Structure 1
């Protein structure tokens, strides 16, 4: 792992962030897109964000992102946002979330598997 800025990953991060904002605002009434696609995209967003600043083994990073996502999901099961005193509607309340779902974990797994496709296609270089 070493610090290395990547303009390409920064641009992907901005694009994915904009997609997430659109999902949260424009597509908020479309259940499939809001409930499933947003969770698939968020792990890809986390991946591109980290890769913007750090060169790291892709498989380790993807594994770490999946574990992190699961931790956040289980924090929702235990109502951590409320226990920490975050008000409903606040940024931290929204980031941590408030409802546990096994489907969300499945969506995170799908997003991570999608990230693994270019890794395995380029397994000799591990460049993605």
Structure 2
């Protein structure tokens, strides 16, 4: 019985009803489309934008949202669990920059390693990841409320 507890997540609907939801693999075209759109925006920012606001800040804000939609494309998990996982992953990558992981792995010559793992630690980046996570939670709550309102009518 204890083995299966790891596969369940406590969720709460907008009406306040708490239920256990099982983690399961799935495929969501909607989340895939959002992930592709966000990846395209991130790519365009990295490739074509060379300013002091959009490139350093918008990209960091959007990356957690991109990770979230990528996970939701393949895993049907509660919003809070998925947001927490995406945020934790982003924090881990940022902390790896603090410890110069790319250098320690001997990948300092790899452009891909610098793009994926980055090269400089910043607390501002972590704040932007957190803001991105908050945006997801707010947007998902608004979406759930709209859906609930539609079904009440």
Per the TM superposition, whether the score is higher than 0.5 is yes
Counterpart for residue 16 of structure 2: none
Counterpart for residue 57 of structure 1: 78
Counterpart for residue 32 of structure 2: 10
Please tell me the root mean square deviation across aligned C-alpha atoms, in Å.
1.6
Counterpart for residue 102 of structure 1: 123
Counterpart for residue 104 of structure 2: 83
Q: Please state which structure has a larger fraction of its residues in strand.
A: 2
5+ residue gaps, structure 1, are none
Query: Higher relative CO (CA 8 A, sep ≥ 6), structure 1 or 2?
Result: 1
Q: Distance in 2 between matches of 1:54 and 1:85?
A: 33
Which aligned runs of 4 or more in structure 1 are off by greater than 4 angstroms? none
Counterpart for residue 26 of structure 1: 48
TM-score w.r.t. length of structure 2: 0.76
Q: Distance in 2 between matches of 1:53 and 1:64?
A: 14
